[in-house]
């Protein structure tokens, strides 16, 4: 029986309970797991790569095949994990997560978890991103176990070319989750909030954040609606962001556009 090779990454760092739980479940299933993470929480770093400073790979002695990248992004972890740690030996799958908070709707544009899965897809590796529906006491063991059905499907069947999966799991006990739904990306994410603070030296500074909210998205086939109704959301995402419908429309305007 083949022992599948997994490249496991995240955007929360090597201390994150989410990735440690996912790693343990993958090992329990008999997979060969190589883990590469940032050295700290790098949420919101999207798909950024580091070009302005050198990066160092550090091996953790506490775990087997476990590394972190000093001052690196999630996409850096994928890039260095594939080309340096694995020495260009292609893994069977890349798993990004389990994230500590949700990646629904507009979150995916900012998410380091999703960015890492996108980087894996660019490298030709079947990739999935895994997140809870809420950052309030995520049930990581439940999320990991439920995600394994998707992991095993991808390993056996692959994914369409240049496509990866974004998985979101309701924050419920396993027996309360109703099943799986294939969904589209929703629109809403957070109730945006920018807070102003004053330092002891009377200087202004700002904190960008927001509260989790499901109120903005109510379409029946969206990721938001699926997790709100107790289903695991599986959203296929493509590397190609071209709006082909708009491209056809704009093509008709050629006669009005001149140089």
Q: What is the pLDDT of residues 35-90, one digit of tens each?
A: 999 999 888 888 989 999 999 999 999 999 999 999 999 999 999 999 999 999 99
Residue 197 is assigned to a structural domain of this protein: no
Residue 75 is assigned to a structural domain of this protein: yes
Residue 208 is assigned to a structural domain of this protein: no
Residue 64 is assigned to a structural domain of this protein: yes
Residue 245 is assigned to a structural domain of this protein: no
Phi-psi label, residue 30: left if phi above 0, alpha if psi -120 to 50, beta otherwise: left
Please name which of 177, 29, 154, 26 lies closest in space to residue 98, comparing C-alpha atoms: 26
Determine the pLDDT at residue 187: 77
Please name which of 136, 156, 132, 157 lies closest in space to residue 146, comparing C-alpha atoms: 132
Cα gap 254→54, rounded to integer Å? 46
Q: List Cβ neighbours of 84 (8 Å cut-off, separation of 6 or more).
A: 57
Of 18 and 211, the structure prediction assigns the larger pLDDT to: 18
The residue segments making up the domain with residue 43 are 5-187+217-240
Determine the pLDDT at residue 77: 97
pLDDT band at 209 (very low <50, low <70, confident <90, very high): low
Residue 211 is assigned to a structural domain of this protein: no
**CATH code at position 11:** 3.40.1210.10
Q: How many domains does the chain divide into?
A: 1
Residue 13 is assigned to a structural domain of this protein: yes
pLDDT band at 217 (very low <50, low <70, confident <90, very high): low
List b or e across 203-227, with b for residues whose CB sees 16 or more CB atoms inside 10 angstroms: eeeeeeeeebebeebeeeebbbbbb
pTM (predicted TM-score) = 0.89
Residues paired with 206 in a beta bridge: 196
Residue 198 is assigned to a structural domain of this protein: no
């Amino acid at each position: 029986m083949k022992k599948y090779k997994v490249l496991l990454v995240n955007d929360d760092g090597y201390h994150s309970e989410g990735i440690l739980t996912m790693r343990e479940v993958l090992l329990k299933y008999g997979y060969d797991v190589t883990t590469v993470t940032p050295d700290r929480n790098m949420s919101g770093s999207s798909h950024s790569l580091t070009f302005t400073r050198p990066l160092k790979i550090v091996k953790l002695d506490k775990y087997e095949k476990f590394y972190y990248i000093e001052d690196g992004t999630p996409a850096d972890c994928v890039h260095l994990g594939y080309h340096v740690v694995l020495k260009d030996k292609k893994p069977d799958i890349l798993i990004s997560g389990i994230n500590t908070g949700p990646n629904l709707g507009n979150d995916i544009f900012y998410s380091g978890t999703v960015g890492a899965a996108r980087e894996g897809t660019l490298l030709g590796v079947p990739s999935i991103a895994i997140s809870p529906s809420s950052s309030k006491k995520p049930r990581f063991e439940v999320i990991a176990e439920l995600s394994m059905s998707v992991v095993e499907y991808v390993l056996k069947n692959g994914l369409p070319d240049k496509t990866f999966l974004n998985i979101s799991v309701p924050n419920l006990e396993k027996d309360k989750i109703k099943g799986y739904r294939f969904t589209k990306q929703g629109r809403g994410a957070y109730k945006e909030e920018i807070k102003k603070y004053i330092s002891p030296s009377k200087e202004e500074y700002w904190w960008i954040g927001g509260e989790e909210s499901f109120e903005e998205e109510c379409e029946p086939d969206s990721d938001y609606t699926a997790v709100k109704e107790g289903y695991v959301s599986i959203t296929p995402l493509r590397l190609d962001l071209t709006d082909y419908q708009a491209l056809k429309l704009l093509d008709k305007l050629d006669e009005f556009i001149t140089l």
